[in-house]
Chain A
Amino acid sequence: MMTNLLSYLEETVVRLPDKVAYSDGTDSLTFREVYGQSRALGTALSRAGYYREPVVVFMGRHPKMVTAFLGVLYAGCHYVPLDEEMPRHRIQLIFRSLKPRCAVCDGKTAELLKEFDWEGRVLLYDEAAAGEIDEAALAAIRDRALDIDPAYIVFTSGSTGVPKGVAACHRSVIDYIENLSEVLGFAEDTVFGNQTPLYFDACLKEVYPTLKFGATAYLVPKQLFMLPVKLVEYLNEHHINTICWVVSAMTIVSGLGAFQQVRPEYLRLVAFGSEVFPIKQFRLWREVLPNARFVNLYGPTEATGMSCYYEVKRDFALDEAIPIGRPFRNTEILLLDENDRPAGPGETGEICIRGTGVTLGYYNDPERTAESFVQNPLNKAYPEIIYRTGDLARYNEEGELVFLSRKDYQIKHMGHRIELGEIELIANMMPAVSQACCVFDDVKKKITLFYVGEAEAAEVVAYTKEKLPRYMVPNSVRRLERLPQTPNGKIDRKGLKEQACAR
């Protein structure tokens, strides 16, 4: 039985040493190079005394960054991916909650780290990955490894303004990769076009199946997602046949009319998710790719990547939503009503997930872990943790699961999960802002921030940009004399939302 993610690499490197594993179109690494460099990095980390602890991988989007993840695993540690484009404030918060002793960097990010209030050690990837490999030390580390040990920690938005670090173990990732691969039918000739940032669990879909099957993954340069024709040309140039993108990335391509000029020639599998796909845009994709499979994916970071899938085989009306379907094998969805009983047919319930895919919880944060990772209320006999997603859904007449909405103020924007409260909190940190309220226009997909105070809108934007990831920066910022209130004295979010949507 496979108990460690590195086994995927070790089996494939024997078979396909000279095949390209990861590439960005300019720089590439073969399986042999990935194997060699990751073990050298693992050796360097181990010799420096790091073991069973978080190691930050803070690098630019590059094949070396993926290889660094594996290097951290070889050291018996868990990787924490951070991106050079993350705002400083957020990185600082992550360092504070994680307290890592070591970070793997490239030349550029090593310079950036100097500005931070952090005492740990920086290991330069290029130096460490070119070093020697201590086979005996690595074998000893592996010998003691368990599949319940964490493989990574990724950070998601948190409503208190502090990002939450979701820790997932090898076993959960293996379970996910095996079942995802079975449904999507990945193979050795799969050529992935990765869109999602490497600092999210979403990239598991490309990173590990590439190792498992000896496939190839292209890390599509981020800038191309602004340039739709060039993006499709990139897919064609590299014979990319499989994409798993957030819906926003796909609708940019179709919405801007790229298909009138160029068609994707090799795509045979299009998986998408993290957001509702507007049917008008979805039809444009199906028209241009009549022979491709289209699969909707759903799942929270807390249950390792994706938990549910739905393969689109029928037509959808413009006002219909594509279902999220059914769970992957070895995962169960409990749809629980307000009294924690299973919701009846057609009734709304909260999606709760049980199975090996449920992650270990929020790192260094027992309180918030206890709120969402809870005892299965249907099982009184022995300890069994399920994850409460906060997502509401129901079963349709075909018995397929359909996503309805969130329970709280959490939203999905451009494929990212965002707590509107986190944006409000940042705006409220400004001395010249006395009150702030953030709303989301679900149709236009725009975040609007209303605020009261002396600050100019431009200053508020500049401030939020400095402190929040790009996808959380409000699309529109508006000053009001005062925020409208409900009869109960709460901020009238609904009224503000209508005001934002009307514009």
Chain B
Amino acid sequence: MTFDELLEILSDLHPEVDFATETGLIDNKVLDSFDIVSIVTEISANFDVSIPAGEIVPENFNSAQALFELVERLSDED
């Protein structure tokens, strides 16, 4: 998965948000629980990476960059 592909998933959910710069996706209530489910499902369906529930914490979801790093890390572990 590339960073751009991740941005596409996120932008599809929230076309009005600039995911390249937003760093408070959880803390600023940009995303809600429904978005989290969508993101985890999309990543798992399109990139064959499953995100364990324990990794669903603000540190990993507050920015597209953090989420990308999480996915990279999980892919390496496989």
Interface centre among B52, B53, B54, B58 (most CB of A within 10 A): B53
Q: Which residue of chain B has its CB nearest to the CB of A223? A: B26
Contacting residue for B40 out of A229, A256, A260, A475, CB 8 A: A256
Q: Restricting to B8-55, which residues have a CB under 8 Å from any CB of A?
A: 12-16, 26, 29, 31-34, 36-38, 40, 50, 52-54
Give the distance in Å from the alpha carbon of A257 to the alpha carbon of B14 in the complex.
Answer: 24
Contacts of A471 in B (CB 8 A): 34
User: Is B15 a contact of A458 with CB atoms below 8 Å?
Assistant: yes
Q: Using Cβ atoms and an 8 Å threshold, which residues of chain A touch B31?
A: 226
| Contact residues in B for A228 (Cβ distance below 8 Å) | 53, 56
Name which residue of chain B comes closest to A463, CB basis: B16
Q: Are B52 and A252 in contact (CB under 8 A)?
A: no
Set of chain B residues within 8 Å of A457, measured between Cβ atoms: 15
Interface flag for A414 (CB, 8 Å): yes
With both beta carbons as reference points, the residue of chain A lying nearest to B38 in the complex is identified as A475
Task: Let me know if A261 and B16 touch, CB within 8 A.
Answer: no
Number of interface residues of A (CB under 8 A): 30
**A19: chain B residues within 8 A (beta carbon):** none
User: Is A226 in contact with B36, judged by CB distance below 8 angstroms?
Assistant: yes
Would A477 and B56 count as touching, CB distance under 8 A? Answer: no
User: In this assembly, does A465 line the interface, its C-beta being within 8 Å of a C-beta of chain B?
Assistant: yes
Residues of A425-478 whose CB lies within 8 A of B: 456-459, 461-462, 465, 470-471, 475-477
User: How far is B16's CA from A47's CA once the two chains are assembled, in angstroms?
Assistant: 48
Q: Does A348 contact B (CB under 8 A)?
A: no
In the complex, which residues 50-69 of chain B have their Cβ closer than 8 Å to any Cβ of chain A?
A: 50, 52-54, 56-58, 61
**CB < 8 Å: which of A229, A256, A470 contacts B32?**
A470
**A261:B53 contact, CB within 8 angstroms:** yes
Shortest CB–CB separation between residue A195 and chain B, in angstroms?
Answer: 10
CB distance from B67 to the nearest CB of A (A): 13
The yes or no answer to A407 lying at the interface (CB within 8 A) is: no
Asked if B37 contacts A252 (CB within 8 A), the reply is yes
With a cutoff of 8 Å between Cβ atoms, the chain A residues found around residue B33 in the complex are: 225-226, 248-249, 252
Chain A's closest residue to B55 (CB) is A229
Bound CA span A458–B40, Å: 22
Q: Which of A230, A462, A475 contacts B16 (CB under 8 A)?
A: A462
Interface check A491, CB cutoff 8 A:
no
Q: Which residues of A contact B53 (CB under 8 A)?
A: 228-229, 256-258, 260-261
Q: 1/0 per residue A214-243: CB within 8 Å of B?
A: 000000000101111110000000000000
Asked if residues B36 and A260 are in contact (CB atoms below 8 Å), the reply is no
With A458-B16, A462-B16 known to touch, is A230 a contact of B34 (CB < 8 Å)?
A: no
Contacts of A131 in B (CB 8 A): none
- The answer to the question of A255 belonging to the interface, with a C-beta cut-off of 8 Å to chain B, is yes
Asked if A414 and B57 sit within 8 Å, CB to CB, the answer is no
Output the least CB separation between B26 and chain A (Å): 7
Chain B residue nearest in CB terms to A261: B54
**Chain B residues positioned under 8 Å from A229 (CB to CB):** 53-54, 56-57
Q: Which residues between 183 and 240 of chain A lie within 8 Å of chain B, taking CB atoms?
A: 223, 225-230
A459, B16: Cα distance in complex, Å: 7
User: In the complex the two chains form, what is the Cα distance from A459 to B26 in whole Å?
Assistant: 22
Q: How many angstroms from the CA of A85 to the CA of B30 in the assembled complex?
A: 12
In the bound complex, CA of A379 to CA of B50 (Å): 58
Show 5 A/B contacts (Cβ-Cβ < 8 Å), sorted by A. A226-B31, A228-B53, A228-B56, A229-B56, A256-B36
A residues near B, CB below 8 A? Answer: 85, 223, 225-230, 248-249, 252, 255-258, 260-261, 414, 456-459, 461-462, 465, 470-471, 475-477
With A223-B29, A229-B56, A461-B16 given, name 5 new contacts (CB 8 A): A225-B33, A226-B56, A229-B54, A256-B37, A475-B34
